[in-house]
Amino acid sequence: MHAWKHFVTITKHRMLVLEGCFRVGLYRQGLCHDLSKYSPAEFWNGARYYQGNRSPNAAEREDKGYSEAWMHHKGRNPHHYEYWTDMNRETRRYEPIPMPRKYLVEMVMDRRAACKTYEGAAYTPASPLNYLNRSWEKNLMHPRTERELRHILTMLRDKGEEETFRYLRREVLQGKPFPWEEEETLQ
């Protein structure tokens, strides 16, 4: 059991998200980000499966075939695309729906912070995009959410934090169209 190390890790992660959210004007989301990680349902499994270099949810999933902590977490935190699923009235199947922009931006901050926390000195602005490219999750998101996320993470890789955060604050959070939306309007 690594309760103290887990506490330090999740707190470091939260502080990185808070810093990013504050930089783009998402003050309430920065303050409230991942508070459920301190709940008994998430904290004790995290401490039990703590490894320090990756999410304890992955280790719990390997051990049990699922992660109780993750199931608790994703249902309470709208910055995860998994939160944004609902029953399609026509197909009568659960399907992803597009994420609201403020949660999309918080997800960007969450992924940036997770990579910084777990990669340490090896982190680069390309890390969050590299993680997305290696994962299967891109196939589970709503296509609009995946396209928007990929656009922002590519900008982070290519233009860095200052320009990307400015874009998030001035364009994305203000509801301005993404570049491809502007092109579609012109056609």
CA-CA distance, 21 to 29, in Å (whole number)? 7
CA-CA distance, 88 to 111, in Å (whole number)? 28
Per-residue pLDDT tens digits for 81-119: 999 999 999 999 999 999 999 999 999 999 999 999 999
Share of the chain above pLDDT 70, in %: 98
Per-residue pLDDT tens digits for 52-91: 888 999 999 999 999 999 999 999 999 999 999 999 999 9
Find, among 115, 120, 119, 2, the residue nearest to 51 by Cα.
2
The residue length of the chain stands at 187
Tokens of 43: 């904290």
